[in-house]
Structure 1
Amino acid sequence: MTLYFDPGPLLGEDREVFRGRWEDRLWLNVPGPFYGGETDTCRTGRFSAPQHVLYGGKYLSEYVYRQPRIPAEVARLVEAADCDPFLGYGCDGDAHWTPETVREWWRDRGRISQYLADHDWDGIDWAGQGVTAAVRDYETYLAGSLATDLRIYLHWLEEGRSPAPGERLPEL
């Protein structure tokens, strides 16, 4: 079972790079502690965290399409946030997401699927970053294992801890 990663242990310089504001969070972000808000449009995030960051929205800002699960993945996301000159990434999602808002996001996930399907991602695959493949990965994730990851996140929000092996998870 995938465990939830608590960003609480991020200290010092690592925490400093997360200055994004919740109000600026891009709607494409997957629920969890980390998100992209008003990031620059230089599209550097995928160089550091290719399995977590995509580009989207009106200005193709960076957003988190898969939350990190282990410290090495968090380190890559910290690097992506550090490369953003606008410091538009945030790590305080746990203070804002509620079980109700996570379930609402899940109910509206078709909006994300439609957005991903409606764009020509081949035309914006800068510097061979694999944007098109990552978009397909996000689509597969939306249709598959994201449901379980969100149920684990719901457990975290409701219980304040990762679920024990075999423990029943909340429904979406």
Structure 2
Amino acid sequence: MTYWDPVPTVRGAVGKPLPQWGPGAAAVRHDWSGPAPWGRENRDWRSVPGPFYASETDTCWTGRTCAPANVLYDDDGYGQEFVFRQPRNPYEVYDLICAGECEVLAGYGGDGDLHWTPELVRDWWRERGRVREWAAALGRTWSLSEREDRRDAAAGARAYVAHIDGLLAEYLRGYVFRLAEGRPAGPGETLPSL
């Protein structure tokens, strides 16, 4: 998967109900492409580089209910949410908007492009082993839990490991191109290395 720009989809959703909410649902409250209310500096270290992130969320574990392919929880005693996979299509953007709308503190942001640089993305990639080790351990531990929500989060942790081992490098190469050039790579263009 190369980089796909989700921001136009985010901005297009403002004031409209999300498709998964069904007819008669309330409209999206605001533009989720802006900064998180608690600041990007509080972004979780496990968050994958890209436009979306969570910062200082509540501990209600609502994120995976909306966006199971994109959101996971920390295990530092708080259970705060973070984005482990950037959206790959409009439906996953809607899922992340749903996670932001349902999160009590509205702790999601979508202005990561203003803060990531090619160098910072490469730094994160070099340190990915730490994130992978954490996610693998979480998947093993929480898969044995009696709590269904923890077993679901364990599945998310295993998906994160698979993402790191699979298509994440290609996505990040496309994202580095986007950050450096100000546009997604076109067909046949060479992507930078990590």
**Do the structures match in fold with TM over 0.5?**
yes
SS at match of 2:10: coil
Q: Which amino acid aligns with 2:142?
A: W
Structure ID, larger Rg: 2
> Alpha-carbon deviation of 1:20?
4.5
Would the alpha carbon gap of residues 153 and 85 (structure 1) be closer, same or farther in structure 2, given more than 3 Å must change? same
How far apart, CA to CA, are the structure 2 residues paired with 1:157 and 1:130? 33
Would the alpha carbon gap of residues 127 and 143 (structure 1) be closer, same or farther in structure 2, given more than 3 Å must change? closer
Match of 1:15 in 2: 31
- Of stretches 111-120 and 28-37 in structure 1, the one that deviates more from structure 2 is 111-120
How far apart, CA to CA, are the structure 1 residues paired with 2:67 and 2:101? 11
- Kept in 1: contact 2:57–2:106 (CA 8 A): yes
Pairwise CA RMSD = 2.0
Length-normalised TM-score, structure 1: 0.91
Match of 2:164 in 1: 142
Length-normalised TM-score, structure 2: 0.81
Match of 2:74 in 1: 56
> Alpha-carbon deviation of 1:128?
7.4
- Of stretches 117-126 and 93-102 in structure 1, the one that deviates more from structure 2 is 117-126
Are 1:111 and 2:130 counterparts? yes
How far apart, CA to CA, are the structure 1 residues paired with 2:122 and 2:90? 26
* C-alpha distance after superposition, 1:56-109 (max 9, x if no partner): 152121110100122221111000011111111111100000000000000001
Q: How many residues align?
A: 172
Segments of structure 1 that go 5 or more residues without pairing to the other structure are none
